[in-house]
Structure 1
Amino acid sequence: MFAVGLTGGIGSGKTTVADLFAARGVPIVDTDFIAHRITGPNGAAMPPIAKEFGAEFVTADGALDRAKMRALVFSDDTAKARLEAITHPLIRAETERERNAAKGPYLIVVVPLLVESGTWKSRVDRVLTVDCSVDTQIERVMRRNAFPREQVLAIIDKQATRDARLAAADDLIVNECAALDELAAQVERLHRRYLALAGTPSA
């Protein structure tokens, strides 16, 4: 199935854009949702995480203690690599399972770390980047997650640069003003383009 990799920095609006494609009947595979599922209560990644990092990184309901792990990962690059060695193979396997089961005119795969992974660009037919300024990212994430500015900056610093995401893009959605009607118009134009590229007649 024709597949589009959807990416963007934290706070860029990837989820909103994915929802707009889903409203047009496009199946969505979201690697972030998969990551949360496998590290949720009794998720597939939790036994090896507990073994590698210790029970103190597991909450009472059997989920990953995200705040504690986030603090460790941002202070220790080796911890990040150890965590990814556990989660990435599981995420990839579940992503492929969902891709194979998807039904629709084409497929959107949401991959926040598409540029960072180094392999995703070869696994999709097009890369769609959702873009906004770093200042807008900071403002949105502070408002949405109630994170202090320093924490948001630390997250952004760990992600690919805006220039790198733009360089990787075949297509671009600009989400600076966050007006839903303007965003929907951009999605509609791309939706029709992807239908044509996938060989599916538009409605």
Structure 2
Amino acid sequence: MTRPALPPRPLRIGLTGGIGSGKSTVAGLLVRLGATLVDADVISRASTAAGGAAIEPIRQAFGDALIGPDGALDRDRMRQLVFQDPSARQRLEAIVHPIVRADIENRCAAAPTDCVVLDIPLLVESATWRDRIHTLWVVDCLPDTQIRRVMQRNGWPREQVLAVLAAQASRAQRLAVANTVIDNDQATLEQLETQVRHAYAQTRRQFGL
């Protein structure tokens, strides 16, 4: 299959990493270096908020019970439904993903800088997303580090963190497709910032910026 042609500019850095890896911190550092951030999670949540573009299609596909009193997607009910019926996730994604993709394309086209960072949690799991970026960055750390960070940050029990990890791409899968790896296992913030600055400069040189 022929890879879709990418727009020449802006440069698109796909940024991903497992839960607790520090992906959001790296995204913030890239913004400080002058990149424009496009966060797929933020766009997705906006589409399922009250008045969002996905609400009426979700209502038609799943019924009024999945829409909360505030007019937004009832995330707790949807999680329960997906747990009971895995096909529900596919139906939900078939509604939300095209909306998110279109919004991302619009934001890339309107970006005020020559580099856009696409923060996409499921980037490795989705070939569709990978076909729309120039290079893929992975924020990496050991699974034990992820578990400890998420337990401390979210107050989740270990079993809940393990369940999330099991639903994501493995560390090995992410590293296998990474063009750039940011090691955030034991790095201090200063060390992480140095890594990101050097990697960003190298990426820009690679693509002639």
- When normalised by structure 2's length, the TM-score is 0.89
The answer for the alignment partner of 2:76 in structure 1 is 67
Question: Per-residue CA shift, 1:61-87, capped at 9, x if unaligned?
Answer: 211222222232234220111110110
The answer for the alignment partner of 1:52 in structure 2 is 61
Counterpart mapping for 1:93-112 below 5 A: 93-112=102-121
Question: Per-residue CA shift, 1:141-188, capped at 9, x if unaligned?
Answer: 222233332222112111111100000100000111252111111110
Identity rate, percent: 47
Q: Which has the higher helix share?
A: 1
Question: Per-residue CA shift, 1:9-37, capped at 9, x if unaligned?
Answer: 11111111100000111101111111111
The answer for the alignment partner of 1:43 in structure 2 is 52
Whole-angstrom distance in 1 between the partners of 2:77 and 2:57: 17
The range that moved more, 136-145 or 13-22, is: 136-145
The answer for the alignment partner of 2:157 in structure 1 is 148
Counterpart mapping for 1:3-152 below 5 A: 3-152=12-161
SS in 2 for 1:114: coil
- Structure 1 unaligned segments of length 5 or more: list them: none
| Contact 1:106 1:194 (8 Å CA) reproduced | no
Deviation >4 Å, runs of 4+: none
> Which of 142, 166, 189 lines up with 1:180 in the alignment?
189
1:160 aligns with 2:179: no
SS in 2 for 1:116: coil
| Contact 1:131 1:175 (8 Å CA) reproduced | yes
The letter for the 2-side match of 1:115 is V
The letter for the 1-side match of 2:131 is S
CA-atom RMSD in angstroms: 1.5
Question: What is the Cα deviation at residue 93 of structure 1?
Answer: 0.6
SS in 1 for 2:169: coil
Whole-angstrom distance in 1 between the partners of 2:59 and 2:172: 37
Question: What is the Cα deviation at residue 102 of structure 1?
Answer: 0.7
| Contact 1:41 1:62 (8 Å CA) reproduced | yes
Question: What is the Cα deviation at residue 193 of structure 1?
Answer: 1.1
- Structure 2 unaligned segments of length 5 or more: list them: 1-8
Q: CA distance change for structure 1 residues 22 and 137 in 2, over 3 Å: closer, same or farther? A: same
1:190 aligns with 2:183: no
